[in-house]
Amino acid sequence: MFESMAFDSVSEFLQMGKYTFHVWSVYALFAVFLTVNLYLPLARRRQFIREQQRRALRDSQANQSPDGDDGRSDANGGSE
């Protein structure tokens, strides 16, 4: 199946017959789709871990006097 490429030259490949726009826009969209759906959850995970670490740090610093902020986050969880 690999005996021959479908194109004779790089410019022919980039041209995709008369369908330059159609073929390449589909593959560009596909690339965006893949990147976004793999990147977004990873970015969310990093952000969440950062938030929780900051909260843990704050909680350990203000251990003696639990402030309103901490209480709110707990109330939020409790209502679920």
Nearer to another protein, 26 or 62 (CB): 26
Is 35 an interacting residue with respect to another protein (CB under 8 A)? no
Is 72 an interacting residue with respect to another protein (CB under 8 A)? no
Nearer to another protein, 53 or 67 (CB): 53
Q: Which residues contact 22 (CB under 8 A, 6 or more apart)?
A: 16
Residue 45: CB minimum distance to another protein, A? 5
Q: Which residues contact 58 (CB under 8 A, 6 or more apart)?
A: 69, 70
Q: Measured between alpha carbons, how far is 9 from 80 in angstroms, rounded to an integer? A: 61
Residue 8: CB minimum distance to another protein, A? 12
